[in-house]
Structure 1
Amino acid sequence: MSPVIWLSAELLAVVGGPALLAWWIRRRYAASWSSLGWGALAFVASQAVRLPLLIGATLLFNPLLRRDAAAAGFWINFALLALTSGLFEEGARYLVMRGAAKRVRRWNEALMFGAGHGGIEAVLVVGLSVVGALVLLTRGDQLIEQLRVNVPAQADALAAQLAELRAAPAWTAALAIWERALAITLHIGLSILVMRAVRDRRLALLLLAMALHAAFNALALLVVRYAGILAAEAVLTLLTGVPLWIILRTRAQEAAHPPAVEPTLG
């Protein structure tokens, strides 16, 4: 199968899948579109602060590491990526829910909020990278020939990247789609935890959401490093039982004891 075909299928899934999920949540649980938008905004806001911090830390630490200190570089990046993911993304969720997203005080609205957060991440992180890969597949040979005239070293690097992309098996697209499904499930579960932290004024639930987010990312990085991507996805699949339990447990609790809050427009 041509890489263009399976990459196009991946792009359709990571863009269309979150849209279909939001539409289903809207119809099935009468959640508002504003909650979807606030969830997406929370992710964008978190990365607007987090990414400059990561770039700055990279520029700071890289000159301090010798070329043979690859292990130290990994552990520095590991700590930064894992810890900042939980701190900034859950912190952004909390601030948005406390401030503008005052409607997100029930299970169904937190469900939609999490779909917005995870959905925009899928589009921006995976969707844009797939678009870049498709451009490389369709225009790569022309770009390489142009680069060979002025910057041969860059042409060789691009040629190697193109060859690797053409040789990639189709199952990598299915794996990427599955990984996004797991990530969106995690974002929904964490959004519910943060919603309860805001609604019930339980700061411990916010700290739990931060810790869970960091733990998921840390485990993914470690398993990829020592056992490979397939093992990492298997571990994350098992661990996704945690956010699923949060989702279903909170739904059952609200059905039995509806929260004593009235949603406001937000």
Structure 2
Amino acid sequence: MVRTSSIIFMSISLLLSFVLPLVAAVVLHKKLRFAWKAVAVGAVVFLVFQILTRIPLLGYLQQNLWYQAFSLSYPIISLLLIALSAGLFEEIGRYVGFRLFLRKHLDWEGGIAYGIGHGGLESVLLVGTTFLNYFIFSILINAGKAPPQLSKSVISALVDTAPSLFVVGGIERVLAFVVQVGLSLVVLYGIKSRRSTFLLLAIALHTLLDFGAIMFARNTLVGGTFVAETYLAVFAAASLVWILKSKRLFIEKEPLDSEQS
């Protein structure tokens, strides 16, 4: 039997993953009056650059024996490259999205909207759907109707995992969502200020975040999940400060000329 507390925490993570992006979009749209197009572009860019491109490429690499051998021989370098790939694909994707599709929305509000779309779809696809499956499987297991194709390892994980760990996914999505909005503004500010170093900064920050979070989560000697989430929380706090403070910087910048905007 899956514990009731586990199902409750799964439900919380499920709601945070699905509802947070929607609530953020609706509430902030009323306040900031940004273009819904920017939200849509953020979501589509994440879908194309991450879900349809990066993840399949990583899946292909992981099927090759040479890559498997490399990962076993140099695990730290392998994790660093995986983190770097996330930074490259997502941040370059942001740059392309702003430059090609949002040339009339290169303001602070447009950056917020883009981040909501990007981070929102990430929340739904990478975490929300997972917890939806967890929730459904748990209900079926407790009803004695677990699907025959459901592996024993999955059932054991749902039954034996500490209930509190099921809420970590939801908390992580809230923190990651804030970071995604912050990174969107970093890339956009680079475009507005005509400084390519901000794109490189966004790639570096994204890589550092993913690499550190994975390393801490996998290393129980330094705290495991708790330290990994604390690490993410630090990035989220810094991102929130940047989001609030950066509005002034966007107002101070002169609009891009017609050729660039």
- TM tier, smaller: 0.7 to 0.9
Distance 1:231 1:122, change over 3 A: same
Instruction: Work out the CA distance in 1 between the residues paired with 2:93 and 2:68.
Output: 31
1:114-193 pair list within 5 angstroms = 114-140=115-141, 141-143=144-146, 146=148, 158-193=151-186
Amino acid at match of 2:109: N
Quote the offset at 1:30 in angstroms. Answer: 1.2
Distance 1:70 1:44, change over 3 A: closer
Instruction: Work out the CA distance in 1 between the residues paired with 2:218 and 2:255.
Output: 47
2:105 match: secondary structure: coil
1:133 match: secondary structure: helix
Query: Structure 1 stretch 24-33 or stretch 129-138: which is displaced more?
Result: 129-138
Q: Is the 8 A contact 1:104 1:195 kept in 2?
A: no
Instruction: Work out the CA distance in 2 between the residues paired with 1:209 and 1:63.
Output: 27
Structure 2 residue aligned with 1:150: none
Structure 2 residue aligned with 1:22: 25
2:63 match: secondary structure: helix
Instruction: Work out the CA distance in 2 between the residues paired with 1:74 and 1:8.
Output: 34
RMSD: 2.5
| In the alignment, structure 1 residue 59 sits paired with structure 2 residue 63 | yes
Name the count of aligned residue pairs.
Answer: 250
Quote the offset at 1:39 in angstroms. Answer: 0.7
Quote the offset at 1:261 in angstroms. Answer: 4.7
Distance 1:62 1:164, change over 3 A: farther
Instruction: Work out the CA distance in 2 between the residues paired with 1:64 and 1:236.
Output: 28
Instruction: Work out the CA distance in 1 between the residues paired with 2:25 and 2:109.
Output: 11
Instruction: Work out the CA distance in 1 between the residues paired with 2:241 and 2:38.
Output: 22
Structure 1 residue aligned with 2:41: 38
2:215 to 222, 242, 251: 222
TM-score when normalising by structure 2: 0.86
Q: Is the 8 A contact 1:194 1:206 kept in 2?
A: yes
| In the alignment, structure 1 residue 260 sits paired with structure 2 residue 261 | no
Q: Is the 8 A contact 1:10 1:174 kept in 2?
A: yes
2:8 to 5, 13, 17: 5
2:64 match: secondary structure: helix
Quote the offset at 1:62 in angstroms. Answer: 5.7
Instruction: Work out the CA distance in 1 between the residues paired with 2:123 and 2:229.
Output: 16
Instruction: Work out the CA distance in 2 between the residues paired with 1:164 and 1:51.
Output: 24
2:137 match: secondary structure: helix
**1:92-125 deviation line (CA, Å, top 9, x unaligned):** 1111111012233111110111011001000000
Structure 2 residue aligned with 1:199: 192
Instruction: Work out the CA distance in 2 between the residues paired with 1:239 and 1:18.
Output: 19
2:153 match: secondary structure: helix
Structure 1 residue aligned with 2:88: 87
1:173 match: secondary structure: helix
Instruction: Work out the CA distance in 2 between the residues paired with 1:119 and 1:64.
Output: 32
Instruction: Work out the CA distance in 1 between the residues paired with 2:169 and 2:159.
Output: 17
2:53 to 49, 52, 60: 49
Instruction: Work out the CA distance in 1 between the residues paired with 2:109 and 2:20.
Output: 19
| Unaligned segments of structure 2, at least 5 residues | none
Quote the offset at 1:165 in angstroms. Answer: 0.6
Q: Is the 8 A contact 2:13 2:170 kept in 1?
A: yes
Q: Which runs of 4+ in 1 moved over 6 A?
A: none
Q: Is the 8 A contact 1:103 1:109 kept in 2?
A: no
Amino acid at match of 1:36: V
Instruction: Work out the CA distance in 2 between the residues paired with 1:234 and 1:122.
Output: 19
Structure 2 residue aligned with 1:74: 75
